[in-house]
A and B are shown apart, each in its own frame.
Chain A
Amino acid sequence: MSKAPGKTAPLPPTAASPTAEPKRYYTLADIAAQAGVHVTTVSLALRDHPSIPPVTRARIRAVAKEFGYQRDPLLDALNFHRARRTQQTRSVNSAFVVHAGTTRLFGGNHYQPLVYAGAKAAAEAHGHALDIFVVGHGHLAPARLNTILTARGVTGVLLSTFEIDIEQLDLDWAQFCAVKIECLHLTPNLDAVSNDQLQVARLAMRRLRKLGYRRIGLATAREDQTRLGESFGMGVLIEQASLPEAECVPPLIFSLAEVPMLPRLIPEWMHEHKVDVIISNWNELFDVFATAGLRLPQDVAFASLDVPPGLPHAAGVVQNHRLVGQRAMEQLAIMTDAYQRGVPEAQTITYIPGYWQDGTTAPPRVRRAGVEWN
């Protein structure tokens, strides 16, 4: 333990000879002596570590306050620097919790593995072990999950996408640091990281309009709209607000039950509203087009709102699923370091933008004689 006094309080204006002054800077050691506990106890208590009884934490905090103790930013920066340079030896256990029913999501099934890969990479960088737990029908019940997490000493929890019929997950949240991935509908209101579907839809609208399309139609599932806070719909509405009436196509919002009818519903909607390009997060529409005998891009152009890897010919917006997982895990690592457990005072939501990819399913639209595109 260094005997050097730590920087904790600003210098008083009359800074005379430092030796003559009473001690102005206090370290953890001073607080430990005063409180009658070991210095590591003080360190843990001030970071709100649950291994220290709440009463002791409160007592130590009171002593620290009396001393005017403050964390030293410089030492903080040095620790950060050293932690990054040295091999991580500690390992924190974190859980990647998914719901049994979410494998269907976005059909292509590329979503969940990418999110996990991003989270896993960030977990390794921060010295966290990240294991997958599946809750829901036929798998773990929430109470059982809680028991397992506690028994394994898991402190960090990432909740990846949950279906909308799961409105709540009952864990003892005060025990855990937790971040949600995309499932904004899920109670409690933990901090969340999500793809920026509003930006994704707006970007697709703008790029397609630049390519010469004038009747851009959104097709998506009502369940997705609910789960994503209607972000796709809002993106389309806000873009349509600055377009002429003649370019505003009402979206086709279908329910999951109506999916088998899509080969009929899509052409009907397309013809009724003279849609020249369809935008959708449903990559299954490729099959629907085939079944309905629609040729891309001759009969209608298509831009995916969630271009999966392995479809280089598909035009559309690529969502950064991997980055979503990464950012969520980074945030969880920060919270774990600070022992920020439970439901926050005010929820924050972090959105990750997507980027456009040109493709043959939505080629630049040929200019018809006498019509000027701008």
Chain B
Amino acid sequence: MKDVARESGYHITTISLALRDHPSIPENTRARIRAIADRIGYERNPVFQALSRFRQQGTVCAPAPRIGYLENFRSGFAPPRPPHLEAIFQGARRQAELLGYRLEPLAVGEDDHDSRTLTKYLRENEITGLVIGSFVPGFAEIALNWDDYAVAKIHSRHTEPDATVIGNDQLREVRLAFRRLSALGHQRIGLAVGRADEDACGHRHTAGYLMEEASIPRDRRVPPLLFPYNVDEPTLAGMIARWVRRNQVDAVLCNWATLLTPLGAEGLKIPDDVAVACLCVCDSDSPLAGIRPHLHLVGERAVSIVVTQLKSTERGLPDFPSSIYVQSTWQDGPTAPDRR
């Protein structure tokens, strides 16, 4: 505002009043000041705006500034989030609240926002911070003028923008799980993950798996099963069962946590016929052996990155976007017993 004052020759209080359209300032003066403000790129910072209202009135009446949390899979009938996406969202929401922001979930899709309506909504509500919340490949995507926003992406590697990406580390998770299963005496370890997940994480499951396979004898290697988009549970269980039998798999590494019952229906007894290690154990008292990702930290970190940009009024995408991976831990469980 000081810059606008210098440029226009008016006092800073005049600028302040003019930009808030105060009637005490003549209309053509207001227009002139607005034009100068536009030219030098002055923008009201919603954070400071809330602060000054607080100072004037001694209490907070401005709502907390908002950060948009974009999701693309909840279109139309708004199904609940699957547990892993819920964990990320809750972490993001808590961190936003801790830092004094409100996280607003915004659905993108055929029955919800498209790029045009979303742009309008964000402008009208002065939302400039965005988290792309783990977009699911195969569902709607979005194209905004990214230069206007502070953005961080959770996974969502298959889609724009080229922003900082935060995620759990599928590559090191697969390697950790593979080594644990090997140490437990499992010989033929197979990886079964969805193409959608692979696309969203940049094929990091397969990268880790191929590296581990390269260090074991050829006769213990199992070709990974990459199952198609949007497959339902019974179909998937059938595919896995056939793949297990064809390749004599001893232990399955899979990122679906709900497969035990459907696999049972396919006649596979766990762990007698085949051991299972889940790559995404989200339920805190789940008996599954596998990887326990710290998904709330993924959400937290994404919000922290957006808030840092908001505070510094940085907008747009970095020249060299970082990838940030939160490491996970292994837990033993009866689905992958000791075979030594």
Contacts and interface: CB of A to CB of B under 8 A. Distances in A.
Given A233-B214, A241-B210, A346-B328, A74 B320 contact: no
8 contacts: A233-B211, A238-B207, A327-B322, A346-B294, A346-B297, A349-B324, A350-B325, A355-B320
B25 interface: no
B99 A4 contact: no
Interface of A: 4-5, 7, 11, 18, 25, 70-78, 80-81, 84, 189, 196, 198-199, 229-230, 233-235, 237-238, 241, 320, 323, 327, 334, 345-353, 355
Given A71-B98, A72-B100, A349-B325, 18 more contacts: A4-B54, A4-B58, A5-B58, A73-B101, A74-B48, A74-B100, A75-B51, A76-B100, A77-B47, A77-B48, A198-B171, A198-B207, A234-B210, A235-B207, A346-B297, A346-B326, A349-B324, A353-B320
B64 interface: yes
B208 interface: yes
A234 B327 contact: no
Contacts of A323: 320
A4 B329 CA distance: 46
Given A80-B312, A237-B214, A349 B55 contact: no
A334 B309 CA distance: 13
B184 interface: no
B104 interface: no
A80 B169 CA distance: 31
Given A77-B47, A234-B210, A237-B214, A196 B100 contact: no
Contact of B311 (A80, A229, A238): A80
In terms of DSSP, what is the predominant structure of the interface of chain A? mixed
B301 interface: yes
B60 interface: yes
Interface in B46-80: 47-48, 50-51, 54-55, 58-60, 64-65
B34 interface: no
Contacts of A355: 320
B324 A78 contact: no
Nearest to B166: A348
A115 B65 CA distance: 37
A198 B203 CA distance: 11
A351 B208 contact: no
A334 B324 CA distance: 16
A352 B307 CA distance: 20
A169 B245 CA distance: 47
Given A7-B54, A76-B100, A347 B327 contact: yes
Contact of A81 (B169, B214, B311, B322): B311
A84 B324 contact: no
Contacts of A348: 297, 301, 324-327
A349 B169 contact: yes
Interface residues of B, number: 44
B323 interface: yes
Contact of A234 (B45, B51, B60, B208): B208
Interface in B85-125: 98-101
B286 to A, nearest CB: 18
A199 to B, nearest CB: 8
A230 B171 CA distance: 11
Contact of B171 (A11, A77, A189, A234): A234
B99 A351 contact: no
Contact of B50 (A74, A233, A349, A350): A74
Q: Which of B47, B48, B211 has the largest count of A CB atoms less than 10 A from its CB?
A: B211
Nearest to A250: B214
Contacts of B207: 198, 234-235, 237-238
B54 A320 contact: no
Contacts of B48: 74, 77-78, 81
Interface in B304-319: 307-308, 310-312
A31 B184 CA distance: 53
Contacts of B208: 234
A352 B319 CA distance: 11
A25 B328 CA distance: 38
B321 interface: yes
B156 interface: no
A73 B210 contact: no
Contacts of B321: 353
B285 to A, nearest CB: 19
Contacts of B54: 4, 7, 74
B326 A25 contact: no
